[in-house]
Structure 1
Amino acid sequence: MALLRLTNRHGTSALLSTFGARLVELLAPDRDGALGNIVLGHDTEQQYRADPGPYFGATVGRVAGRVADAHFIGGGLEFDLQPNEGSTHLHGGPSRALDRVEWRIGEAPDGASAVFHYASPDGEEGYPGTLDVTCSYRLTDDNELELEITAETDAATPVNIVNHTYFNLSGDARESIVDHELMIDASAILAADKRLLPVGGVLKVAGTPYDFRLARRIGDDLPAGSGEPWPGIDSTYVLDQSARPAATLWDPPSGRHLEIRTTEPTLQVYTGNRIEPVAGRSSAPHGAGKGICLEAHRVPDSPTLPDWPSIVIQPGERYAQRTVWRLGAR
């Protein structure tokens, strides 16, 4: 595992790893200028290998999300995958998903960028076609961390790649994210069963604990009885695609603020409900509710979602997504 650090003129810096093309550390200033690490993670590759389940900071795929019964149907394709969550296929599989492999460092156009490449061979984790993936991070002097992911294939194959970073803007993983204020520009979530698999249709968030159209404290109304081991959120928000950011996050004590804009149609919001207690980066205590994922992505094909576009790409087509995390303090 090799590490690369990007730094801008404000002292903001992003530490990146070739193992899983992941964001390991993100140092950002609070309202007084003090730097703090605002993402969860580990110190070594061995720790990431021993604790793969949380997917801390990783590039996840080939298909992020859940595929029912590890059997993909969509876009004219039908094939079996490797299950790794009961009978479900989760986040690309158990052994050679994108978060479990070493990426090659590519040539960056400037010192503010890091480019990672991985060629996933035909048949890896059951997926057809060789998939060439590029993941690029760029840290600007406007305190924006830009993420661009592209992929091309030599045979029809599904692609839905996301970044699985957990944010805790306090800069102290001993603190929970329940006191953060969250806004999500979404009027609906995908309807799902207890296995978090889509059942068809959407649920309007109005009048429910899932409504974050106006910024509010996360812990004010967590969805009790959701079946989660910690009473948090793990839902797919269908973005309204308005002029607003897809989401904003604010930690009042530190003043740190995060704004997310993306090309993607949905945001998977996960409050770390199933993170087992573990000593994370610099021995920081990680556990349920210590970080929140705001994952921009597409919706994997499912017979229950016939009206959603297929995520299958063909030879000659290019998968591309762009997400920007804008950091600030107030």
Structure 2
Amino acid sequence: MGVTLHRLYIQADGKTHDILIGPETPSGHLVQKYTNTLIGRYANRVPAGTHTISRASNTASLTAASNESPTVSLHGGITGFDLQMFEPLPDLFSSKLFSQSEINTISARMPSGAACVFSRISEDGEEGYPGRLLVEVLVGLTQPSAPPTTSEDKKEWNLGSVLLVYRAKLLDDSAVTAVNLTQHWGFNLDASLQDGQSVKDHTLVIKADHTLELGPDANSSGLLAPVTGTHHAHVEKETRKIGEKFPENGYDEFYLFPRNIAPPTPVRISTGDLQPKTDFVLPALEDQQSLVELASPKSGLRLNFSSNQSGVQFYSNNFSQPDKTARKKIHGGSGEKGDGYEPGSAAFLEFHEPLAAWLHPETIGRTGSDTLLASGELYNSFVRMDVWYTSPEGL
């Protein structure tokens, strides 16, 4: 369910790492919520209640159900996309939302069997969201794109990449809905070493200049706050461990990338522009500016993320309840409920647009996206994760 990424194995220097936290068995994701699953129709938090939304002369009513608290609708509602069944298409050519050129690119750049498109139709009114919505998600693995690089004290290998592409289209005429999809995946690059659970020794770079101010209930206030001089300044020139300046309640913040970072592909395009020769997948696979970097000096693993989204939510697994969850055996757990992950045990990095963007003119002015989708438009979102390994011995 939910296009869930259960395991992500990395082979490095004779060691097998699973860099995703989570339960031991796939069925565990049914009760261990939001662990490496697709979330939607709308990622993150929306004020609970009824909202009037309008785009391209289309108007509709959206009623967001409360689930996290009386005033907050989290990750699409009570039964969001994480609990919905997505069907793997029998082949790439069965896709309705990827062009012929894009399918050719996927086939050429990803090894046989290393790419799949998952599909479902979200019916009109599901979890209060208007419009019948076709959703397709590409999950693909690519081979290493660069030879090892060597300096005096280390050698570095690119181990390949993970590409996620989210597409959506309304099937009704004169409709409008809110769409904001992402993967709620949580990383721990040291967990397979079975030497503690914390990610506080990981280093983190987020090329953001502002965070989104949140209200007391964690809904967006619509205002932006500079990161300079705060514990949110995860910038390259001040690369530091996550545990340095770690806030009392951990991290659960949305970071906005600078305006001068141009997205490689648009988030919303006219369906008429998706011609057989159109290819928005290829730019996602080509060299991109890294927006976020997560690394561990202990394991030697590093993840670099690129995306066409305007920001990223960083969550440090603050609300994890070890007594109610399970931990993978490869991470030193028993695999049984009651032996779960501790708070601070993962870095969740969720690339999407600002929370409830259509309600907040300041964020729309900053990103150009109201996160609404009208009939005749195609939603197009991607995130690419490049995996690197560094040998400090230079071997």
Shared fold (TM-score, shorter chain, > 0.5): yes
For residues 162-241 of structure 1, the aligned pairs below 5 Å read 162-172=182-192, 174-214=196-236, 215-224=239-248, 231-240=249-258
Report deviation, 1:317.
0.5
Report deviation, 1:221.
0.6
Q: Given residue 231 of structure 2, which amino acid in structure 1 is its aligned partner?
A: P
Bigger Cα Rg: 2
User: What does residue 150 of structure 2 align with?
Assistant: none
The answer to whether the aligner puts 1:264 opposite 2:309 as a matched pair is yes
The answer to whether the aligner puts 1:70 opposite 2:83 as a matched pair is no
User: What does residue 15 of structure 1 align with?
Assistant: none
1:266-292, Cα deviation, whole Å (9 max, x unpaired): 101111111111222333641311111
Q: Could you tell me the TM-score, scaled by structure 1's length?
A: 0.86
Q: Could you tell me the TM-score, scaled by structure 2's length?
A: 0.73
CA distance in structure 2 between the partners assigned to 1:171 and 1:145 by the alignment: 20
Report deviation, 1:187.
1.1
Give the direction of change, closer, same or farther, for the CA distance of 1:45–1:138 in structure 2 (3 Å limit). Answer: closer
* Contact in 1 for aligned 2:114/2:142 (Cα 8 Å): yes
Runs of 4+ in 1 over 6 A off after TM superposition: none
CA distance in structure 2 between the partners assigned to 1:306 and 1:186 by the alignment: 17
User: What does residue 78 of structure 2 align with?
Assistant: 94
* Contact in 2 for aligned 1:29/1:329 (Cα 8 Å): no
User: What does residue 281 of structure 2 align with?
Assistant: none
* Contact in 1 for aligned 2:211/2:254 (Cα 8 Å): yes
* Contact in 2 for aligned 1:185/1:244 (Cα 8 Å): no
Counterpart secondary structure, 1:320: strand
Report deviation, 1:306.
4.8
Q: Given residue 92 of structure 1, which amino acid in structure 2 is its aligned partner?
A: G
Report deviation, 1:322.
1.1
Structure 2: tracts of 5 or more residues without a match: 93-106, 145-159, 262-287, 391-395
Report deviation, 1:307.
4.7
* Number of corresponding residues: 302
* Contact in 1 for aligned 2:48/2:65 (Cα 8 Å): no
Q: Which has the higher strand share?
A: 1
Report deviation, 1:189.
0.3
CA distance in structure 2 between the partners assigned to 1:167 and 1:312 by the alignment: 30
CA distance in structure 1 between the partners assigned to 2:384 and 2:168 by the alignment: 18
CA distance in structure 2 between the partners assigned to 1:56 and 1:24 by the alignment: 8
User: What does residue 303 of structure 1 align with?
Assistant: 359
CA distance in structure 2 between the partners assigned to 1:74 and 1:233 by the alignment: 31
Give the direction of change, closer, same or farther, for the CA distance of 1:222–1:74 in structure 2 (3 Å limit). Answer: farther
Give the direction of change, closer, same or farther, for the CA distance of 1:306–1:202 in structure 2 (3 Å limit). Answer: closer
Give the direction of change, closer, same or farther, for the CA distance of 1:287–1:146 in structure 2 (3 Å limit). Answer: same
Structure 1: tracts of 5 or more residues without a match: 1-18, 225-230
Give the direction of change, closer, same or farther, for the CA distance of 1:189–1:73 in structure 2 (3 Å limit). Answer: farther
The CA RMSD measured in Å over matched residues stands at 1.8
* Contact in 1 for aligned 2:6/2:26 (Cα 8 Å): no
CA distance in structure 1 between the partners assigned to 2:8 and 2:51 by the alignment: 35
For residues 3-18 of structure 1, the aligned pairs below 5 Å read none
The answer to whether the aligner puts 1:321 opposite 2:381 as a matched pair is yes
Counterpart secondary structure, 2:66: coil
Give the direction of change, closer, same or farther, for the CA distance of 1:305–1:289 in structure 2 (3 Å limit). Answer: farther
Identical columns (%):
28
User: What does residue 27 of structure 1 align with?
Assistant: 9
1:175-223, Cα deviation, whole Å (9 max, x unpaired): 2111000000001101111221111321111111111012210001112
CA distance in structure 1 between the partners assigned to 2:22 and 2:83 by the alignment: 15
For residues 148-167 of structure 1, the aligned pairs below 5 Å read 148-153=165-170, 154=172, 155-167=175-187
